[in-house]
Structure 1
Amino acid sequence: MRSLPADCDALLTCIQEENGIALLRCQTSASQLLLPDELDGLPITRLGDYAFSAREPRQLPEGTFQLLLTSGGGQIPAHDAAALRLVRLPQRALSLGNYAFYGCTGLEALEIGGSLQSVGTDAFMNCFSLRRMTLAAPAEECRCLRSLLQEYSGELELRFTPPAGPECRLFFPAYDEDYEEMAAPHIFHYNIRGVGYLCRQSFDGHRFRYDQYDASLDLLLRTHEFSLAARMALDRLRFPVQLSEAARTAYLTCLSEHTAQLLELVLAEASTAPLAFVLALDLLDRQALAEGCELARTARRTEALGLLLEYQNRRFGAPRARSFDL
């Protein structure tokens, strides 16, 4: 069996097709899986049904071959779908098969090339930990975007990082769906709960519509907790791709009316970049700043506390020194 040097150990089962290589099965116990973009000079263009899942494909066609990705050990790894945390798909992959990540319960992040066009049925079934997808194309050019959002109803942040053009981030809240039996026999009512479903309908055909997405903020504020609206607002204001002035004003108003909760949210982040951005918006008054400083002290966020105190001094002046007569 041939092997290729890689950052992790994985056994790939593939077949050559007319336009490239199809990856039918990937066996690995690695937490981070960075797949190659091509094999033998041919691009990997298709990812098969159950390719990464806990369950094996029902049947593999004749003509398959296997290749071992190895970080140095040279041993064939046992497959553990639950061990996966991050997967980078081949950048020229065109399709992702049915149930591709079924049972990958620990999967947190997925990196997708800008060429992906279709996503199979229940591709992310039981991916309970999935929270982030990064796509190497603008949202309006991702033909797979609608099907990605249809196949995953959990809370999700999408990051768009095209080679040329501005980065964009979009937050999609979770939603629930179920069937309620109304009368026997087999008469059901389909229920959908959560603004996450409305956010996912922001399309004209397969083209993403930023204006429709921004319009869902009002309903989100009326029906959900503020932290969800704040995440949407922060992402759109920090990465304002096709952000209208009216939408920008609505997002700023949303944040300015909930400054205490906003500070709790950004201070919970490991990075201080969201806090620095919030401070640059000049939304915080003296009381909000004092509460933010206390939160940072309690959480032992030294760097964040330094940013808050520096901003407080710059905007309101250093506090007056106090002296006491004995």
Structure 2
Amino acid sequence: MEFKFEIMTDGSARLVKAEGKDKVVSLPDVWNDHPVTAIGEYAFYEQREMTRIRLPRSMKVIGDHAFAECRFLEQIEFPKGTERIDDYAFYNCTRLARVVLPGTLTHMGYGAFRNDSDLRDIHLYTVQGMESQINTILSDTNFELTVTFHYKDGNVSQLVFTDFFYEETANEEARQFNHKTYGSGSLYRNCISSTGIDYMKYDEIFELTIHRDEPTTVMDLALKRLSYPYELASQARRFYIDYLKSMGAQVLFYMVETKRWSLFSLLTEGEPLPKEMLDAGIEFGQKNQVPEFVSMLMQYKNVHYSSMKKTFDL
């Protein structure tokens, strides 16, 4: 791929245009002894062959529409030091599934990731109280996505923001429209403000989510929240676990289908799981050839439902 650069007033270089049909692109860190710090407006516009790109380590700014309509781009990781992602920078990148954002980010432009329908996995490196950097993406999407917050103190939080949509029906007698919301996603998105994430509010929404969202979505949310229990109160933790256990064998099937059987230990607290639930899980694990999961269930079953020795009256 051929690159065209220009030198800016501060002595750094900005990529003006990229031309070619390479699938994997690596931008240079330096051009003619000038650090590459910016990608200009429309620089990669409609580069539909590109699936991956490595950005310069000195990158600071991604310009308007820089990667818009790059419909086969699968993931993007912004280097530490990136400060700005401008308006519509990744608009309509419909296959973009994973984004990694640095803690140095100070500006996220309008519609930066709008219409990126495959976007499900976002990682943000940040500090507590600064999580609102993600709000632009959340407000641009109504589909489900997972955001993993990596805090500077080493803590990690993984939150699911479920999908939602609105329906309007005309009420001719009242001469107004009635609004109905499906899904709990809008409520979860309101948990992040300019002061950070309200984790207590996030966990309180779960009871409503059980009734509004699909069981697979609810189980996924609960498992992720329990796996990364940052700011998770003991009462909320108990509620997540009780819900998962109430799903019976369905939660065991889900663990196998999503390859998360190592999380079975989350279900072992409190009262023993029903024998029928364990038997169904063992059968499902054997059918799907997951010996590790089957072994865990059998060990748990042997501890809590050991065979009773037969006794005979003489």
Flag whether TM exceeds 0.5 (same fold). Answer: yes
Structure 2: how far apart are the matches of 1:174 and 1:106?
A: 18
Q: CA deviation at 1:269?
A: 1.6
Q: 1:34 to 1:277 in 2, by over 3 A?
A: farther
Q: 1:126 to 1:145 in 2, by over 3 A?
A: closer
Which residue is equivalent to 1:66? none
Structure 2: how far apart are the matches of 1:178 and 1:45?
A: 41
Structure 1: how far apart are the matches of 2:24 and 2:82?
A: 20
Which residue is equivalent to 2:294? 305
Structure 2: how far apart are the matches of 1:196 and 1:272?
A: 27
Gap runs ≥5 in structure 1: 39-43, 55-80
Which residue is equivalent to 1:23? 39
Which residue is equivalent to 1:50? 65
Q: Is the 8 A contact 1:101 1:123 kept in 2?
A: yes
Structure 1 range deviating more: 22-31 or 154-163: 22-31
Residues 236-271 of structure 1: per-residue CA shift (max 9 Å, x gap): 211111111221122122112112221122111235
Structure 2: how far apart are the matches of 1:205 and 1:96?
A: 19
Q: 1:240 to 1:30 in 2, by over 3 A?
A: same
Which residue is equivalent to 2:52? 32
Q: Is the 8 A contact 1:9 1:28 kept in 2?
A: no
Pairs aligned (count): 280
Structure 1 range deviating more: 303-312 or 197-206: 303-312
- Within a 5 Å distance, the mapping from 1:230-245 to structure 2 comes to 230-245=219-234
Structure 2: how far apart are the matches of 1:118 and 1:261?
A: 43
CA RMSD of aligned residues (A): 3.3
Q: Which amino acid aligns with 1:22?
A: A
Residues 129-151 of structure 1: per-residue CA shift (max 9 Å, x gap): 11110112246432402222112
- Within a 5 Å distance, the mapping from 1:74-223 to structure 2 comes to 81-138=70-127, 140-177=129-166, 192-223=181-212
- Structure 1 length as normaliser, TM-score? 0.74
Structure 1: how far apart are the matches of 2:179 and 2:231?
A: 34
Q: Which amino acid aligns with 1:258?
A: M
SS at match of 1:160: strand
Q: 1:273 aligns with which of 262, 271, 275?
A: 262
Q: 1:82 to 1:278 in 2, by over 3 A?
A: farther
Q: Which has the higher contact order (CA 8 A, sep 6+)?
A: 1
Structure 2: how far apart are the matches of 1:128 and 1:47?
A: 21
Structure 1 range deviating more: 291-300 or 211-220: 291-300
Gap runs ≥5 in structure 2: 5-22
